[in-house]
């Protein structure tokens, strides 16, 4: 008996060791804003991504009828995006978390009050998460969570939306994509709730805190501030997957792998790398180049 339990303990210990040696970071990828990037299933079948973030629900709040935009992939208005329900389930079967991103750089969204935040939370729960609605643009697949990519409109009430969404249960994951300057103008207050599981910080289009011309100082200093001062589950280094994917902040894959990842991985908050976007990653092969170092 004692011998057996010792063997069991050894086996468990071995599994934990193996698990730990593979406990590096993941790659989170935004999908949805280019019809030529392939399907969600194809993205997940590459085996490269830990999180897929569907972008975007870009109209909601303040009494507006919510609208989703998935570029050339499908048209939510004619209900042709429900075909992605099977893709979402396929990704989840592979252990990939699938989130819906709300906001984005183009759109019409804001939360006019805490009550409005509750209305939007109820809508998101019924339409994309575990609730029920006659109108589910992504079909009956239950997404793993909601990502806040709030870049315009009002700075107010996002913390209430986070609280209402997390109120549905721990397994509703919350993601956020703040800009690297601290505090983020739109998401700073929401991040203070400590309710976010994944914070993929945009270290691009932000010269004060991004990589530039071979100099990693500003980026590393900013990363250290994020990981030491922002209360979140895991923090991801958000990057453009190709030079054309952002106005500035692209990091050559060899610089990322040899100079930056070894430094930022020292933080226990390190969750991996976020890339904008699946389209550019496909064009540039960026995740192929960095995955062994992530």
Ligand X SMILES: *[C@@H]1O[C@H](CO)[C@@H](O)[C@H](O)[C@H]1NC(C)=O
Contact 82, 36 (CB under 8 A): no
Rounded to a whole number of angstroms, the CA Rg of the chain reads: 19
Contacts of 193 (CB under 8 A, 6+ apart): 159, 162, 163
Q: How far is the CB of 218 from ligand X (least distance, A)?
A: 5
Q: How many CB atoms lie within 10 A of CB 84?
A: 25
Q: How many CB atoms lie within 10 A of CB 93?
A: 9
Task: Indicate the residue among 86 and 212 with the shorter CB distance to ligand X.
Answer: 212
> With contacts defined by CB under 6 A, how many residues of the chain interact with ligand X?
3
Give residues 85-144 in contact with ligand X (rule: CB under 6 A): none
Q: How far is the CB of 217 from ligand X (least distance, A)?
A: 4
Burial 249-279 (b: 16+ CB within 10 A, else e): bbbebeebbebbbeebeeeebbbbbbbbbbb
Q: How many CB atoms lie within 10 A of CB 94?
A: 14
Q: How far is the CB of 213 from ligand X (least distance, A)?
A: 8
Is residue 215 close enough to count as binding ligand X by CB under 6 A?
yes
Q: How far is the CB of 222 from ligand X (least distance, A)?
A: 11
How many helices (H) and strands (E) would you count in the chain? 11, 10
Task: Indicate the residue among 205 and 218 with the shorter CB distance to ligand X.
Answer: 218
Minimal CB distance residue for ligand X? 215
Active site residue 151: yes
Write down the catalytic residue from 42, 151, 159, 192: 151
Task: Indicate the residue among 65 and 217 with the shorter CB distance to ligand X.
Answer: 217
Chosen residue from 46, 92, 205, 218 binding ligand X by CB under 6 A: 218
Which residues are identified as catalytic?
A: 151
> Which residues sit at the interface with ligand X, rule CB under 6 A?
215, 217-218
């Amino acid at each position: 008996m004692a011998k057996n339990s010792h063997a069991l303990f050894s086996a468990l210990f071995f599994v934990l060791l193996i698990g730990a040696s593979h406990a590096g970071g993941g790659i989170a990828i935004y999908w949805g804003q280019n019809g030529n990037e392939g399907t969600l299933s194809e993205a997940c079948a590459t085996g490269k991504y830990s999180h897929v973030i569907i972008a975007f629900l870009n109209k909601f709040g303040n009494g507006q009828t919510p609208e989703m935009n998935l570029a050339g992939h499908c048209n939510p208005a004619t209900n042709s995006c429900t075909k992605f329900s099977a893709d979402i389930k396929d990704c989840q079967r592979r252990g990939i978390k699938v989130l819906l991103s709300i906001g984005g750089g183009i759109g019409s969204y804001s939360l006019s009050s805490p009550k409005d935040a509750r209305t939007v939370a109820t809508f998101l729960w019924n339409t994309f998460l575990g609730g029920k609605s006659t109108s589910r643009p992504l079909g009956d697949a239950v997404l793993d969570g909601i990502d806040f990519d709030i870049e315009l409109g009002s700075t107010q009430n996002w913390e209430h939306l986070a609280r209402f969404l997390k109120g549905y249960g721990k397994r509703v994951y919350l993601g956020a994509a703040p800009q690297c300057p601290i505090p983020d103008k739109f998401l700073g207050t929401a991040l203070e709730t400590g309710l976010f599981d994944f914070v993929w910080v945009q270290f691009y289009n932000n010269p004060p805190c991004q990589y530039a011309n071979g100099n990693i100082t500003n980026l590393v200093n900013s990363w250290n501030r994020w990981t030491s001062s922002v209360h979140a589950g895991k923090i991801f280094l958000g990057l453009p997957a190709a030079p054309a994917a952002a106005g500035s902040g692209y990091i050559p894959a060899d610089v990322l792998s040899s100079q930056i990842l070894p430094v930022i991985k020292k933080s226990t908050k390190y969750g991996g790398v976020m890339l904008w976007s699946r389209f550019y990653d496909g064009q540039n092969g960026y995740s192929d180049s960095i995955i062994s170092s992530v």
